[in-house]
Chain A
Amino acid sequence: MSLVHTVQRAHLRFDLPNFRTGDTVRVHGRIIEGEKERIQVYEGVVLRRTGSGVDSTFTVRKISNGIGVERIFPLHSPRILKLEVMSSGKVRRSRIYYLRDLQGRAARLRKIDPRGANESDAAE
């Protein structure tokens, strides 16, 4: 496997911040529309992280005009220009699919301080 790893390593990104399921993140993605190129900011809750190495992806869910939207991003994609962790939510499992069945106030996560000190209620 060693040669496969050397090939993979060149494609890994080490510049992205650590984040986990339940965190609210802001993804600055590069969108190519024909000739033009623009940056789209997508903000939502991380539903899950999957895979390992260059294969890893994460799913971000947000409510857009009342409709739930989920996008899957390859973690190491060069199309991700910037990734910001806005806040962290308290979750007890690695895949928070139950969020899909909840609406409004119920779909909020209890926020946690990055250091895990103070816990307070806040909208997602």
Chain B
Amino acid sequence: MHKGLFGRKIGMTQTFDSEGNKVAVTVLEVGPCPVVRVKTTNGKDGYDAIVIGFGARKPKHTTKPYGGQFKAAGIEPTLHLREMRVTANDVDGVEAGLVLDAAAFSVGQKVDVVARTKGRGFTGVIKRHNFHMPKASHGTHEVFRHGGSLGTRTTPGRVFLGKKMAGRYGFERVTAQNLTVTQVDVTQNLVVVRGSVPGPNGAVVWIQEAVRTVK
């Protein structure tokens, strides 16, 4: 597991790089993420991990078992909670109550951003599976965005499993890999990454060190 933090997608804009090229960027508000618990190999958990939270959860939405996790750390229950596996070195000096922020990222660093894409509802095959549109002329009628035949005839006499058809599209977990951090502002919890990020503006995202970096 790679080190990461919760954040919020604020929106996209353009900036100029040092050579004057236009760059499309996404503005993310990252953190503050309090450390809720630290697990260690030598402790009762038997492995190294850091549990971090993000956002405020209303007391009336907090169940006792959920809220209990925060009692030991002495912090308010957070809306989001996630555990990340780390190495023993990373656990050193980290303790519950410590607040992590945008300072965890640096300009030029490669990061992955994980988020849920915009929900598109029940969607046809053209948009959902990038099918081609049927012919509009040469005698075609009443079929504008259909997917065509579902299969053959008596043999095999059924539709194959996994046949691409219309259905619910979007609201799925997607990772945008290897985005370059172009700007970090710790005072405003601001991280700007190059390129686009899944999800609508305002969505909660998970931003972490890039898992695969291009050699």
Q: Residues of A with Cβ closer than 8 Å to B?
A: 1, 3-4, 6-8, 10-11, 30, 32, 54-55, 74, 76-79
**A77 and B16 within 8 A (CB):** yes
Closest to A3 in B: B10
Q: Which residues of A contact B29 (CB under 8 A)?
A: 3
B20 touches which of A10, A54, A77 (Cβ 8 Å): A77
**B20 and A7 within 8 A (CB):** no
Q: Which residues of A contact B60 (CB under 8 A)?
A: none
Which A-B residue pairs are the 4 nearest by beta carbons?
Answer: A79-B20, A78-B20, A4-B11, A3-B10
**A7 and B13 within 8 A (CB):** yes
**B13 and A8 within 8 A (CB):** yes
Q: Which residues of B contact A10 (CB under 8 A)?
A: 15
Chain B residues touching A, majority SS: strand
Q: Which residues of B contact A4 (CB under 8 A)?
A: 10-13, 27
**Bound-state Cα–Cα, A40 to B14, Å:** 25
**Bound-state Cα–Cα, A78 to B18, Å:** 9
Closest to A79 in B: B20
Does residue B52 face the partner (Cβ distance < 8 Å to A)? no
Does residue B22 face the partner (Cβ distance < 8 Å to A)? yes
Check A54/B13 contact, CB under 8 A, given A3-B29, A78-B20.
yes
- Could you list some 13 contacts between A and B, CB below 8 A? A1-B11, A3-B10, A3-B11, A3-B190, A4-B27, A8-B15, A30-B20, A32-B19, A54-B14, A55-B13, A74-B16, A74-B22, A77-B22
Taking A7-B13, A11-B14 as known contacts, 7 extra A-B pairs with beta carbons closer than 8 A to each other, sorted by chain A number, are A1-B10, A4-B10, A10-B15, A54-B14, A55-B13, A77-B22, A78-B16
**Bound-state Cα–Cα, A10 to B19, Å:** 15
**Bound-state Cα–Cα, A93 to B183, Å:** 40
**B190 and A6 within 8 A (CB):** yes
**Bound-state Cα–Cα, A30 to B25, Å:** 24
**Bound-state Cα–Cα, A3 to B25, Å:** 13
Does residue B188 face the partner (Cβ distance < 8 Å to A)? yes
Closest to B189 in A: A3
User: Which chain B residues (169-188) contact chain A, with CB distance < 8 Å?
Assistant: 183, 185, 188
